Chains A and B, each alone.
Chain A
Amino acid sequence: MTETALNRGKTDNLKDTKQYSLSDRIFNFVVYSFSFIFLLITVYPIYFVVIASFSDPYAVSGGKVWFLPYDFTLDGYKELLKHSEIWRGYWNTILYTITGAFVGLAVNIPAAYALSRKDLVGRKFIMLLFIFTMYFNGGLIPTFLTIKEFGLYDNFWVMVLPFSVSVYNIIVARTFFTSSISEDLWDAAQIDGCGNLRYFFRIVLPLSKAILSVIGLWIAVGQWNSYFNALIYIKNAKLYPLQLILRDILIINNVQSALGTGEAAQIALRLANLMRYSIIIVSTVPIMIFYPFVQKYFNHGVMVGAVKG
């Protein structure tokens, strides 16, 4: 990839000595104007939420907030602090995310390695067993009944264990192992009397930090953002992840808030409106600040997965 980029840089330098033709100049103009439009459409809504969370809600609904916060206030964030269920949800989500990432790695990575080995008897059959589940499944109710049967309903572990196998992740990791870990290494280790397990834990894993971080982060982001499993399998509000609490505040209450009248209701409505912006910020920022640091890994990971599995 870097080589291609370098080469392309070279050809561009060559071209720079020449004049751009008119059609090429129009081309560049089209490219950059479209890019700016795309950028603006992407950035502005996010930027608006940020400034609205610091502005007086009346100014927001009155159409006075466009480019900068208006009547700067931290009331929305202060209001968040009073809601203990939000922080319990936050804490639960952190637990689900960390446990989920560890369980997911522990389940998917060893399987991916085993399936990357050509001398594994039954490799094709086991792969088929996995891939079939990508296109066919029991459906909501049979799965629901199975979860109940295993006693996982309304249980912490339902969020991290039953659905931790990700065939897509296995394929991505398997492709990594086949392309990046040389078979000669295994041959050499074998001659030295090293068994499969020791080879995997002592040699393969330390060489696979890139894929471990990519897959670990994918799982973590998925866990942080998911609400479906909790909606179906969690009844106890003490186990609610942040996303279910957010659903109450952002979506369900949104409908009800239109009903109140009177001064007290007005104040409550004002805070509720403001809190909606601040809670979006507070719940989304952890992932947003995390992700530019790992972006190069993400790209790499998707690229590896782009190779047909």
Chain B
Amino acid sequence: MKTVIHASLSSGNTLRRIRRNWGLYLLLLPSVVLVLCFAYKPMYGIIIAFKDFKPALGITGSPWADPWYKYFLKFFKSYQFKTTITNTILINLYSLAVNFPLPIIMALLINQMQAKRFKRVFQTITYMPHFISTVVMVGLILIFLSPGSGLLGNIYKLFGMEAPNLMGKAKAFTSIYVWTDAWQHTGWDSIIYIAALSTVDVCLYEAATIDGASKWQKLFYIDIPMLIPTAVILLIMRVGNLMSLGFEKVYLMQNNLNLSASEVIATYVYKIGINSAQYSYSAAINMFNTIINFLLLICVNQISKRVSENSLW
């Protein structure tokens, strides 16, 4: 708000511009009100992480925790601290290693297809799994991997072997999570790279052809360098989210047998907060996570700004 007031003092012109454009502010009103109520008001609520929150007393009325970092300490000391953080980072890193390059490869592949019909069919089909809901996706995983009746079990039976119960193995959890994600989203995530490739000046290819460049050379010296700016931006965003992991799929894939590999910060926050109603504790864990994430994003962005010219802001 400060900037607005400041600007209007410096010139009467600004005030007139605000008044003349009152209609635009009216158009902005619903979204601004909603954001203030449901995004910024909860940010104020974060202070319950430093309080002994009691629903009856409300956020302001609840007493401060003693010491103020009590719930953070509780988390650092809890045996879940190491597990949840390791799992969160591990799943994310694994996912980064697989799901960051795959869409790039697919986009390069699509870009090379000369048969237009085939290209369109290919795109339509590979985008499709993206529209499957998380619940159905996890349902599919359970059905396919069920050793007794699933597709995997049947394949094992073909070779006369007994299928392992993969969903019950903690070791297999991360791989299942990451590769099913790859199955579902690689096609869709490639769209942004296809868009980037479609802006490449055709003259470049023509010049390269005249100079006798092979297709491989065009791929390595034109297509891939052209994707780097887009890739860097997406990489920043992903690394910035390294500590935040979608709750939805992990939670649905969890069971008692794989919990040691599948308990991540988001699911732990949910269980502590919603299931056992330890509001302050849950808020503290969540806040710790958000801050680490935020710092990570700023760092990565800063590094990228120095090293290359790509940055989010």
Contact = CB atoms under 8 A, between A and B. Distances in A.
Nearest to A273: B149
Contacts of B26: 197
Interface stretch (B77-85, B93-101, B132-140): B132-140
B195 interface: yes
A23 B30 contact: no
A266 interface: no
A111 B216 contact: no
A162 B34 contact: yes
Contact of A114 (B28, B59, B199): B28
Interface stretch (A77-85, A120-128, A207-215): A120-128
A111 B113 contact: no
Instruction: Classify the interface of chain A: helix, strand, loop or mixed.
Output: helix
Contacts of A277: 143
Nearest to B106: A38
A63 B43 contact: no
B247 A228 contact: yes
A196 B32 CA distance: 18
Given A39-B125, A144-B274, A280-B139, A306 B196 contact: yes
A273 B209 CA distance: 57
Chain B interface category by residue count: 35 or more
Given A8-B205, A11-B202, A255-B255, A139 B21 contact: no
A146 B45 contact: yes
A137 B43 contact: yes
B30 A106 contact: yes
A23 B213 CA distance: 11
B24 interface: yes
B126 A196 contact: no
Contacts of B270: 140
Contacts of A225: 131-135
Contacts of B112: 27-28, 31
Nearest to A150: B37
A50 interface: no
Interface in A145-188: 145-147, 150, 161-165, 170
B162 interface: no
A251 B254 CA distance: 10
B75 interface: no
B233 A308 contact: yes
Interface string B14-33: 10011001111111101110
A246 B135 CA distance: 7
B43 A247 contact: no
A146 B158 contact: no
Contacts of B59: 145
A74 B133 CA distance: 24
B175 interface: no
A42 B183 contact: yes
B202 A224 contact: no
Nearest to B41: A146
B14 A137 contact: no
Nearest to B229: A308
Contacts of A165: 31, 34-35, 38-39
Given A114-B28, A136-B43, A161-B34, A141 B279 contact: yes
B31 to A, nearest CB: 4
A133 B17 CA distance: 28
A308 B309 CA distance: 13
B139 A276 contact: yes
A119 B21 CA distance: 8
B184 to A, nearest CB: 9
A97 interface: no
Nearest to B131: A287
Residue among B17, B46, B140, B142 with most chain A CB within 10 A: B140
Contacts of B40: 133
Given A11-B205, A42-B129, A139-B42, A232 B34 contact: no
B303 interface: no
What are the 10 A-B residue pairs with the smallest beta carbon separation, nearest first?
A138-B42, A196-B23, A142-B45, A250-B139, A61-B149, A225-B133, A139-B286, A63-B154, A110-B27, A111-B31
Given A38-B126, A251-B138, 8 more contacts: A23-B215, A136-B294, A138-B42, A140-B273, A140-B282, A196-B24, A243-B135, A277-B143
5 contacts: A31-B113, A43-B125, A111-B30, A142-B42, A170-B31
Interface of B: 1, 3-4, 7-8, 14, 17-18, 21-28, 30-32, 34-35, 37-46, 48, 55, 59, 106, 109, 112-114, 118, 122-129, 131-136, 138-140, 142-144, 146, 148-151, 153-154, 157-158, 183, 187, 191-192, 195-196, 198-200, 202, 205-206, 209, 214-216, 219, 230, 233, 240, 247-248, 252, 255, 269-270, 273-274, 279, 282-283, 286-287, 290, 293-294, 297
